[in-house]
Amino acid sequence: MALAPAIVFCDMDGTLLASDKSLPPQNAYALDLLAERGIPFVPCTGRPVIGVPEEILAHDAVRYVIGANGGVVHDVRAGANLMSSGIDKDGVLTLYARVRDWPMTFDVFADGVVYSERARYDSMGTLGIDPATLETLRRVRTPVNLMVPQIVERATCVEKLTCFFGDLGIRDRLEAVAREVGCFSFARGDRNDLELMAPGVSKGTALLWLCEHLGVPVASAVAFGDEDNDASMLQVAGDGVAMANATEAVRAVADHVAPSNDDAGVGRYLLALL
């Protein structure tokens, strides 16, 4: 993309944020330039909106956030969702009944909050999650003395499920069971998790929705990502940029490759355009 983009979509973990979850100074400077030029910067994350770092949510370049892996498009300034896609509750309960005894998390993204059964929340440290990610997960999740069926019953909209596990073999088994239940789409947002959304939901579909909502040509959008749940976003944007630390699947669908997240790849790439 030789010209400056009209809008920027960017994954958070492993992309905009360094591995220690900090915002590299060069990336922060790029956000400042985007704000000066009136170019929207849209954080796109598997996290809930409240899990996006405050320094990013409060930035002048940021008005919209794609959260829950495309399950939510949120207007930060209005404090309201513009779009949300809910998973069928009966499907969630059916899946839970079949896997409830498996050694993994079963986190329920509902109405902007991530709920975790307290016992699963307390056992997250046994699943081999790297320390920086584990700290973020614990900060973003709300442990409750309820079981998943009670959480789901009280929810207005179940936006996403995320399961982390120490045994990668569980991921394939979980996806197979979820496919049998038949009311989910899937993405892998980390090396040892599986994300489940409503059918057809992805960061890519949310990107397309927001561009249409804003009247911005998709061809003028640039998108950055590193994990498999970013691939749909890179495929539909006019310029899909994989980080140097991206998975092979993401690199395969990208138009360009930027330096790694720990080398401020997003900032370096944007500054070359701006």
What fold does the segment set 89-197 form as a domain? 3.30.1240
| Mean pLDDT, the chain cut into blocks of 10 residues (274 residues total) | 87 96 97 97 94 96 96 95 95 97 96 96 93 91 97 96 91 94 85 90 97 97 95 97 96 97 98 94
Structure tokens at 199: 């059918």
In the chain, list all ranges with CATH 3.30.1240.10. 89-197
The upper half-sphere exposure of residue 88, i.e. CA atoms within 13 Å in the direction of its Cβ, equals 12
**CATH for the stretch 7-84+202-273:** 3.40.50.1000
Q: What angle do CA 94, 164, 254 make, to 5 degrees?
A: 105
Q: Structure pTM?
A: 0.91
CATH 3.40.50.1000 domain span(s) along the chain: 7-84+202-273
Q: What is the model's pLDDT at position 190? A: 67
Provide, for the chain, the percentages of residues in helix, strand and coil under a 3-state DSSP scheme, each rounded to the nearest 5: 40, 25, 35
